Chains A and B, each alone.
Chain A
Amino acid sequence: MIDSWILTWLCALPLLGGVAIVLIPRERADLVRWWSLAISAGTFLLSLHLWFHFNVADTGLQFVRSHAWIPRFGIDYAVGVDGISLLLILLTTLIAPLTVLGSWRSVTERVHLFHFCLLFLQTGILGVFMASDLFLFYVFWEIMLVPMYFLIGIWGGTRRIYAAVKFFIFTMVGSILMLAAIIYLVVHHQHVTGLMTFELAALLTSPLEGQAALLACLAFSLAFAIKVPLFPLHTWLPDAHVEAPTAGSVVLAGVLLKMGTYGFLRFCFPLFPEAVHQITPWIMTLAVIGIIYGALLALAQEDIKKLIAYSSVSHLGFVMIGMFALNLQGLTGGIMQMVGHGISTGALFLLVGMIYERRHTRLISDFGGLAKVMPLYTLFFLITTLSSIGLPGLNGFVGEFLILLGTFQVSKLATIFAATGVILGAIYMLRLVQQVFFGTIRHEENRNLGDLVPREIIIIVPLIILMFWIGLYPRPFIERIEPSVNHLLEQVDGVEPAPTHAALPIGSGGALDNHAVIPVAGEGK
């Protein structure tokens, strides 16, 4: 029965592979790379099973497995996947081998430890996306900090320690409050039912109410919002990105940030539906500020990595407003955008890594005219840029459009402000492209740069294919997401969600909506 074991295998394989690195002799760094590649590629192939055997008609968790783990506290090893986590798991497993390839030449010190950390990190992230027991989730959530901390702290840039500590402390602050909230939930459940359990499905049966729900929701939200990151909790991100090695940045932007948005969907929404409605106007406001603010900061940056880091703040703001629109289009768009952002920003960081390997600088002003010497690199960077700024036909557009469409039905004002992010996005990304690739070659060092080598082409092509695939034929993705989103909406609203254009309850009460400039017309005249 592969279906019931597959998730466990997926999650364990990278860790086991990572531990096995110990057996590889010290001087055989090349073997470590190949091994790490084999393990992560194998994990990816294994994860494809989920894609093909996922039952679109089933709205609940699939491939579930549950075992008692610490029975005394009702803690289970319980895993499962729905349409939302499915895509994030696949994104994680896809990105892993690419990061291994991306670090092939750039990481030459402590290669064993590096690849152990990468694989360990993958286990942690996969665990987060598949855990359906809150304690298990918390364990994965915390444990994945450790390899990430080392990745930044050991193989990072000059201010790596500062960045690593900042990253660690930020996340810890959030998660400790979340742990308190989890324990509170469990205790509450025990009061109501007499049973102690950390299983999400069970906890849903004894919902918190009133102030308690709001507080618990806020505790969860803080942890997730830091991870997203939601303005103004984002300042750890640029530091972490700039200092992290390529692999770290790719995983960070590609997958790690989505743990925050995923957390909202998986825990906050179903556990505290009413509280979510209460905090929605606030979250919306912060997310919209984040969209514009992140874009403005990206506009001012001189370091390519920092620019992309701030663009993530902007893009994740889109994800947040889509999710908190709490309707089908917004949520589906939000999830599409999570995947889309993972692909395009992951690709951007990989591409920046390639140029960094050649020039050991990331300052925009150190480049210019690269199109002449690196035409293929330019082409890939351009396509990725276009996908990032949401050009129709590429992946970014599908998510962005659905998000804005969904949000528009809830708050016109928020949509109008968010849509300015579409303009700003073009400004900062095209400025980057112009200054790096166009014009004449101003620095002699750039005159003899080599174009991409086969290894680098192999890294980037799968992502480019995905950009076109999602952009032109997103159906296979949407049809996997949609049932789970519908299910989620039922949990949040307690009613069958109307399929279209129905303004949801928050639409009328939200703070943002009071200022809607354009009246919604039902049946006019």
Chain B
Amino acid sequence: MDLYPLILAFPLIGLLINAVLGRRLGVRGSGAVASVAVLLSFVGAIQAFIKVRHLVALGDGEARLVVRLWEWIHVGGFSADLSLLFDPLSVVMILVVTGVGFLIHVYSIGYMSHDRDYARFFVYLNLFMLAMLLLVLGDNYLVLFVGWEGVGLCSYLLIGFWYDRMFTTKMSNAAAGKKAFIVNRVGDFGFLLALFLIFTNFHSLNFDTVFAAAAHHPAATGVMTAIGLLLLLGATGKSAQLPLFVWLPDAMAGPTPVSALIHAATMVTAGVYMVARSHILYALTPDVLTVVAWVGGLTAIFAATIACTQNDIKKVLAYSTVSQLGYMFLGLGCAAFGGGVFHVVTHAFFKALLFLGAGSVIHAMSDEQDIRRMGGLRHKLPLTFATFLIATLAIAGLPGFSGFFSKDEILAAAFSRQPALWGLGVVTAGLTSFYMFRLMFLTFFGKSRVEPERAAKLKESPPVMTVPLLILALLSIVGGLIGLPPVLGRHLLGGFLAPVFEGLHHIEGFGHAEHLSASKEWLLMGISTVAALGGFLLAWTRVHKVGDKEGLFAKSRNGFYRLLEDKYRVDEVYDLLIVRPLSKLARFCWRVVDELVIDLAVNFSGLGVRLGGELMRLFQNGRIQSYAFFMVLGLVMLLIRVLVQQG
């Protein structure tokens, strides 16, 4: 039986069951319902994959299945239907989303076992799967936008899941959720305007129609540039790129499985997906593509430097995510659309693993997240340690691990496009290796700095949590094999995705990817390996060797270090430039403009009319007594008016 047309129905049914019965099912029952729902979607995704691969193998270019659900908004010439598009790109995405999503659902059964609100948690999680699938499967920009907003909503709800707790001393979880939603709305503002421009120029929001129209009759350069930049603004919101990345680190207020699923593996890659989906529009405006590359490259190094100084295990991973997303944008910007998607896949494996591993640590440490109070955990948490190490090797880009291949592909593309961008990427690779091994050493090596009462309870997580870790570890090792560089073998993912990016062949300058010569290819791989090893050595000497000596965590060394610790104080700048002036302006509009200017004008014009009327009567009347009488009356009324005004 074909399950893929029902792929949305499973999480929907799952969330409805949990919404109604969740509390009666118990955490295992509730979690099982949610997990099975996602598993069924995963099976559907595999079926879709097999079908689409078959179509790709046939090679007639139309490797796609469309499932039309229902007519949504039709007004005059505008139409957008709720229909699903299964093509190689969306199939790759849904495989990752449902596959990794399933593992995280299972893991959550263990992680949330002590939380009373597990039913609500699984409802949100299934709702997220629904929205995410809608996002990647929609066959037009408007359905994509529905999913886009839907995942944002789930992110908001899950960041604030423990709504009565504080995230930091200054910020509550609920405030962190609100921040995420609002920053994303800034991106959505750009996205919406892009949709209007697309519709105005290409008379449709349907991917096929828009891309065909754009490829054959592109709009004026200014318009195309605007579309590209506005879409990019949307992407920087959802995928936490400069300048809208500020919400993601605070999104760590959510439960750790959420950080793994939404804020690492899937939702935050939506921007990458969207740009890859819109590749035609970007290929038509090479300048915008360059902007994409620079945004990605700068974000990558910017966030990596912050990650080097953070002491919260999840914060390190959060900035690492921002940085790795930057890599993906760098790849997209260098026209390696497939490479960007490849990194989405491998990153989903190792970053989900890192977060789940961190979750396992946090769980074992009774909710401690500060790595300064960890150390030596490898003995107590052997499975978590082993899998975390594998993920670290993968993200650091050690040869053979999955991250190595996808990163290499992006760096190669950057090298042939703009060596400066490649330089950014290589330095970031070194930094990545450094902060990850720093995290590794401080958490799992050295002497234990764990508080005694926590140390007493320290034990490895149950199998329901460690089995997903093991599976993800396996994927983090072998996941790279789907995209070998030309010198090593076949790029299976690239071959599979080829029909999606076929349209690029018709656009000038994008005909065929220039292959680097084999020697250059080897050289680049060598350099990035050296960078990774360099980062490792630096962490070894500066962190591990220093060990537990005093001074490792001393407050400040120099100004730049403190600036990094304070995350470049971007939040403070935004607060000063946007948040505070906005609330000042709001109060000004209320107290001054509305209550003083407009309301007084209104009341006085009322008064004026009335006095005018009285005056007219006086002139007609002509008796001296009434002159006096009305004058007094007028004064009294004026007085009353004033009194009422003040009262």
Contact with B along A420-451 (1 / 0, CB 8 A): 10110011001100100111100000000000
CB distance from A277 to the nearest CB of B (A): 20
Query: Which of chain A's residues have a CB closer than 8 A to the CB of B606?
Result: 169
Partner of B71, one of A386, A420, A475, A482: A475
Partner of A301, one of B172, B175, B590: B590
Query: Which of chain B's residues have a CB closer than 8 A to the CB of A328?
Result: 75-76
User: Chain B: interface secondary structure?
Assistant: helix
Interface presence of B78 (CB below 8 A) = yes
Partner of B217, one of A300, A423, A524: A524
Interface presence of B587 (CB below 8 A) = yes
Contact with B along A140-176 (1 / 0, CB 8 A): 0000000000000000000000100000011000000
Cβ < 8 Å to B, chain A residues 467-483 = 472-475, 478, 482
Interface size on A, residues (CB 8 A): 60
Query: Is A408 a contact of B223 with CB atoms below 8 Å?
Result: no
Cβ < 8 Å to A, chain B residues 471-490 = none
Query: Which of chain B's residues have a CB closer than 8 A to the CB of A162?
Result: 644
How distant is the Cα of A328 from the Cα of B77 in the complex, in angstroms? 9
Query: Is A423 a contact of B185 with CB atoms below 8 Å?
Result: yes
From B143-151, B412-420, B546-554, the one touching the partner chain is B143-151
Partner of B218, one of A169, A296, A333, A524: A524
Query: Is B192 a contact of A422 with CB atoms below 8 Å?
Result: yes
Contact with A along B560-594 (1 / 0, CB 8 A): 00000000000000000000001101110111011
Cβ < 8 Å to A, chain B residues 143-164 = 145-146, 149-150, 153, 156, 160, 163-164
Most buried by A among B76, B146, B200, B201: B76
Residue of B nearest to A405 (CB): B196
Interface presence of B604 (CB below 8 A) = no
Query: Which of chain A's residues have a CB closer than 8 A to the CB of B178?
Result: 430-431, 434
Interface presence of A109 (CB below 8 A) = no
Interface presence of B381 (CB below 8 A) = no
Interface presence of A8 (CB below 8 A) = no
Q: Across the A-B interface, how many residue pairs have beta carbons closer than 8 Å? A: 168
Cβ < 8 Å to A, chain B residues 36-84 = 70-78, 82
Query: Is A478 a contact of B78 with CB atoms below 8 Å?
Result: no
Query: Is A438 a contact of B203 with CB atoms below 8 Å?
Result: no
How distant is the Cα of A405 from the Cα of B203 in the complex, in angstroms? 11
Interface presence of A23 (CB below 8 A) = no
Query: Is A297 a contact of B594 with CB atoms below 8 Å?
Result: yes
How distant is the Cα of A329 from the Cα of B217 in the complex, in angstroms? 25
Query: Which of chain B's residues have a CB closer than 8 A to the CB of A70?
Result: none
Partner of B146, one of A371, A392, A431, A440: A392
Query: Which of chain B's residues have a CB closer than 8 A to the CB of A521?
Result: 201, 219-220, 222-223
Contact with B along A70-82 (1 / 0, CB 8 A): 0000000000000
Query: Is A474 a contact of B72 with CB atoms below 8 Å?
Result: yes
Query: Is A296 a contact of B589 with CB atoms below 8 Å?
Result: yes
How distant is the Cα of A456 from the Cα of B218 in the complex, in angstroms? 55
Interface size on B, residues (CB 8 A): 65
Residue of A nearest to B178 (CB): A430
How distant is the Cα of A432 from the Cα of B139 in the complex, in angstroms? 35
How distant is the Cα of A416 from the Cα of B189 in the complex, in angstroms? 9
Query: Is A501 a contact of B203 with CB atoms below 8 Å?
Result: yes
CB distance from A446 to the nearest CB of B (A): 13
Contact with B along A352-373 (1 / 0, CB 8 A): 0000000000000000010110
How distant is the Cα of A482 from the Cα of B75 in the complex, in angstroms? 7
Interface presence of A204 (CB below 8 A) = no
With A430-B181, A473-B70, A473-B72 as known contacts, state yes or no: A297 contacts B77, CB within 8 Å: no
Query: Which of chain A's residues have a CB closer than 8 A to the CB of B221?
Result: 524
How distant is the Cα of A93 from the Cα of B203 in the complex, in angstroms? 38
Query: Which of chain B's residues have a CB closer than 8 A to the CB of A423?
Result: 182, 185-186, 188-189
Query: Is A524 a contact of B146 with CB atoms below 8 Å?
Result: no
Partner of B77, one of A420, A473, A499: A499
How distant is the Cα of A309 from the Cα of B608 in the complex, in angstroms? 28
How distant is the Cα of A235 from the Cα of B587 in the complex, in angstroms? 16
Query: Is B145 a contact of A404 with CB atoms below 8 Å?
Result: no
Partner of B589, one of A293, A393, A439: A293
Residue of A nearest to B196 (CB): A408
Query: Which of chain A's residues have a CB closer than 8 A to the CB of B150?
Result: 391-393
Query: Is B590 a contact of A519 with CB atoms below 8 Å?
Result: no
How distant is the Cα of A500 from the Cα of B586 in the complex, in angstroms? 38
How distant is the Cα of A386 from the Cα of B181 in the complex, in angstroms? 11
Interface presence of B174 (CB below 8 A) = yes
Partner of A299, one of B177, B217, B586: B586
Query: Is A482 a contact of B192 with CB atoms below 8 Å?
Result: no
Cβ < 8 Å to B, chain A residues 360-407 = 369, 371-372, 386, 391-393, 398, 401-402, 404-405
Interface presence of A27 (CB below 8 A) = no
Residue of B nearest to A292 (CB): B589
Query: Which of chain A's residues have a CB closer than 8 A to the CB of B583?
Result: 299-300
How distant is the Cα of A202 from the Cα of B412 in the complex, in angstroms? 75
Query: Which of chain B's residues have a CB closer than 8 A to the CB of A401?
Result: 73, 142, 192
Contact with A along B78-106 (1 / 0, CB 8 A): 10001000000000000000000000000
Cβ < 8 Å to A, chain B residues 214-233 = 217-224, 226
Query: Is A434 a contact of B182 with CB atoms below 8 Å?
Result: no
Partner of B192, one of A297, A369, A419, A439: A419
How distant is the Cα of A373 from the Cα of B173 in the complex, in angstroms? 18
Query: Is A404 a contact of B73 with CB atoms below 8 Å?
Result: no
Query: Is B594 a contact of A499 with CB atoms below 8 Å?
Result: no
Partner of B160, one of A409, A420, A438, A482: A438
CB distance from B434 to the nearest CB of A (A): 37
How distant is the Cα of A24 from the Cα of B633 in the complex, in angstroms? 45
Query: Which of chain A's residues have a CB closer than 8 A to the CB of B71?
Result: 475
Interface presence of B197 (CB below 8 A) = yes
Cβ < 8 Å to A, chain B residues 178-198 = 178, 181-182, 185-186, 188-189, 192-193, 195-197
Query: Is A405 a contact of B586 with CB atoms below 8 Å?
Result: no
Query: Which of chain B's residues have a CB closer than 8 A to the CB of A232?
Result: 598
Query: Is B220 a contact of A329 with CB atoms below 8 Å?
Result: no
Query: Is B174 a contact of A420 with CB atoms below 8 Å?
Result: no
Query: Is A405 a contact of B199 with CB atoms below 8 Å?
Result: yes
Partner of A518, one of B75, B156, B223: B223
How distant is the Cα of A391 from the Cα of B192 in the complex, in angstroms? 13
Query: Is A392 a contact of B145 with CB atoms below 8 Å?
Result: yes
Partner of A419, one of B189, B587, B590: B189
Query: Which of chain B's residues have a CB closer than 8 A to the CB of A105?
Result: none
Most buried by A among B146, B192, B591: B192
CB distance from B22 to the nearest CB of A (A): 12
CB distance from A377 to the nearest CB of B (A): 14
How distant is the Cα of A409 from the Cα of B78 in the complex, in angstroms? 12
Contact with B along A494-525 (1 / 0, CB 8 A): 00000111000000000000000011110111
How distant is the Cα of A169 from the Cα of B221 in the complex, in angstroms? 54
With A422-B185, A434-B178, A439-B164 as known contacts, state yes or no: A402 contacts B75, CB within 8 Å: yes
Residue of A nearest to B71 (CB): A475
Query: Which of chain B's residues have a CB closer than 8 A to the CB of A103?
Result: none
Query: Is B163 a contact of A299 with CB atoms below 8 Å?
Result: no
Residue of A nearest to B120 (CB): A375
Query: Which of chain B's residues have a CB closer than 8 A to the CB of A422?
Result: 185, 188-189, 192
A-B residue pairs, 8 tightest by C-beta: A500-B77, A438-B174, A521-B220, A438-B163, A408-B196, A521-B219, A300-B586, A328-B76
Supplied contacts A328-B75, A391-B153, A427-B185, 20 more A-B pairs, CB within 8 Å: A293-B589, A293-B593, A297-B590, A332-B76, A392-B145, A393-B146, A402-B73, A405-B195, A422-B185, A423-B188, A423-B189, A430-B156, A434-B172, A437-B163, A438-B160, A474-B72, A482-B75, A519-B222, A520-B223, A525-B218
Q: List 5 A-B contacts (CB under 8 A).
A: A328-B75, A332-B76, A333-B75, A440-B164, A475-B71
Which positions in A face B, CB cutoff 8 Å?
162, 169-170, 232, 235, 293, 296-297, 299-301, 328-329, 332-333, 369, 371-372, 386, 391-393, 398, 401-402, 404-405, 408-409, 415-416, 419-420, 422-423, 426-427, 430-431, 434, 437-440, 472-475, 478, 482, 499-501, 518-521, 523-525
